[in-house]
Every structure is written in structure tokens, then in C-alpha cells.
Amino acid sequence: MNEKDFNQITIKDICSRSLISKSTFYSHYVDKYDLMEKIVNKYAVFFKNEIKLRFKSGNQGNVAQVLEMIMNQIAANKTEIATLLNVHVPFADLRVELETILYQTCLSYLNEKLSDSSASIDYLAQLYTANAMVHINWTLKGDKDRSAIELAHKMQQYIFEQVQK
């Protein structure tokens, strides 16, 4: 997908790059969209589990360590994740999946922890999501940056402090 647009990639291309026959491909996948959906789902499940861990860690005070662990995983799979974030097909859009996971998890957390916030919970969840996506994209474009992790942590702390006042 780094060489061709997803829409122009054929099953033949996939099979020749992965050194498998078409029959082997079709024994595992219906078509290239099914393959893409499974790859995106793999990352979405991983990311959802890590984000849940991140929110649980908020109560234990080790958010920065969890953020660093997530960024390590993203950095380790940098090329594949960066490519997937730029492929937008129905039912297999990693960017949409990540944004949805971030937003829904944060919104749920904020609703649970709400104590008369003057800021809109929806706004805070969207702000958190945007901050997290910028941090992910920053990590994908460069290397893991400890100071960026610390800054992201501080920005997220600020968001969560708004509901605890």
C-alpha cells in the first residue's frame, strides 16, 4: 500500500508479494476488503485494550508509563500503522476506529467521574481524542519522543482535572 493506492491493489499483487497462491488467499479471505478489515480489526482490538488500561491507570497514577507503552507499540509497528491510517475504506478505516475508541472510552470515563464540570463532557472527550491522535501521528512521523509523551500526559491531566473540580 506504500507503492499503490489500495483501490488499485489486486489479489494477484497481494499473492505475489506474500508468496502465496490465490487459492490460499481465498481460503482465508473473501477479498482484499476482508483482509483489510481483519488487519484493521487486529490493531483496533489491541488499541482498545491499551486505551482501557490507560484509563484504569489514571486511578493508579501511572498514566505516563501506560502512554509510553502504547507509543512503544505504535513505534514498533510504525510503517504498517502509518499506512493503515491513510487507507479509508468502509468497515476498515483504522483512523475512524482509533478516533471512535478514544472518544467513546474517554466519554464513558468522564461521565463516570463527572462532578459538576463547567466544560462540556462531549467537548472534553473530543479534545482528548484530538490530542491523542496528534500524539500518535507525531510518533509515526518521527521517533518516540519522551518529552512529547510527558506533554501529552500533562494535557490529558488538565482535561481530566476539569471534571474533578
Q: Kindly state the DSSP code that residue 119 receives in the 8-state scheme.
A: S
**Is 5 inside any structural domain?**
no
Q: Confirm if 94 and 87 have CB atoms less than 8 A apart.
A: yes
**Is 17 inside any structural domain?**
no
Task: State CA 101 to chain mean position distance.
Answer: 8
- Confidence (pLDDT) at 131: 87
Q: Which amino acid is at 51?
A: I
> How many domains, the chain?
1
**Is 120 inside any structural domain?**
yes
Higher-confidence residue of 152 and 117: namely 152
Among the listed residues 155, 152, 150, 99, the one whose alpha carbon sits nearest the alpha carbon of residue 129: 99
Among the listed residues 34, 68, 93, the one whose alpha carbon sits nearest the alpha carbon of residue 25: 34
- Confidence (pLDDT) at 20: 96
- Confidence (pLDDT) at 143: 72
- Confidence (pLDDT) at 154: 84
What is the rounded average pLDDT of the residues 140-145? 78
Q: How far apart are CA 60 and CA 123, in angstroms?
A: 25
Domain boundaries, position 74: 35-164
**Is 89 inside any structural domain?**
yes
What is the rounded average pLDDT of the residues 111-134? 82
> Tens digit of pLDDT for each residue in 11-34?
999 999 999 999 999 999 999 999
Higher-confidence residue of 144 and 46: namely 46
What is the rounded average pLDDT of the residues 110-114? 80
In 19-88, where does DSSP find H-type helix? Answer: 22-28, 32-58, 63-76, 78-85
Q: For 1-15, 53-67, 68-82, which range has the lowest pLDDT when averaged over its residues?
A: 53-67
Cell of 76: 514498533
Does 42 have pLDDT greater than 70? yes
**Is 86 inside any structural domain?**
yes
Q: What is the CATH number of the domain that holds 154?
A: 1.10.357
- Confidence (pLDDT) at 148: 81
**Is 30 inside any structural domain?**
no
Among the listed residues 75, 63, 84, 81, the one whose alpha carbon sits nearest the alpha carbon of residue 128: 63
Average pLDDT, the chain: 85
**Is 115 inside any structural domain?**
yes
**Is 3 inside any structural domain?**
no
